[in-house]
Amino acid sequence: MDYNYLKSLHLIFVITWFSGLFYIVRLFVYQIEASQKTSPEKEILQKQYKIMTYRLWYIITWPSAILASIFAFWMLFFTDLGSAWLKMPWMHVKLGFVFALYLYHLKCHQIYLQLQKDEIKHSSNFMRLWNEGATIILFAVVFLVILKSAVNWIYGVVGIILFSVIIMLGFKFYKKIREKK
């Protein structure tokens, strides 16, 4: 298969994977908040959110993660350009972030399973903050892929830390606005 087709398919499934990760955590927020409602609203919302999370998780998010990985492995191990990339330091860092993304995905899976059993172990505020984990990984990977070896690692690390601080500050500001309502 032509390399550009592989890259296109990989990118499409990376986008749908991230979309699933972003939305599943928002659904976790809604599920947790629904658990604090009174009957019958609580039961109606919980049932609907369980259906929505199931479909998102198993029809979009997991298949996208698997297909994005298959096309990535295909590009890296079965094309000439991929084997050259494996020798580059930026690719090692990118693969480290992909590993972190899988850890994030697996933790989301654990939370998904808990919520399907009505086990609530996290607050909705925690979930709002947790949702930013995928955003940080996305920023890091996109900058690594676009800038490649032109990235000054010190500036890159400082940039990710500053971005994380800005997200935290934004979260605290949003929390204050929600508490006033």
DSSP class of residue 39?
A: T
User: Which among 155, 136, 4, 143 has a CA at the least distance from the CA of 82?
Assistant: 4
Residue 94 marked as a ligand binder: yes
Would you say 65 and 105 are in contact if contact means Cβ atoms under 8 Å apart? yes
54 vs 8: CA distance, rounded Å: 27
122 vs 167: CA distance, rounded Å: 19
37 vs 154: CA distance, rounded Å: 47
134 vs 122: CA distance, rounded Å: 18
Q: Does a cis peptide bond (omega within 30 degrees of 0) precede residue 89?
A: no
Decide: helix, strand or coil at residue 123: coil
Annotated binding residues: 10, 94
Annotated binding residues for heme: 10, 94
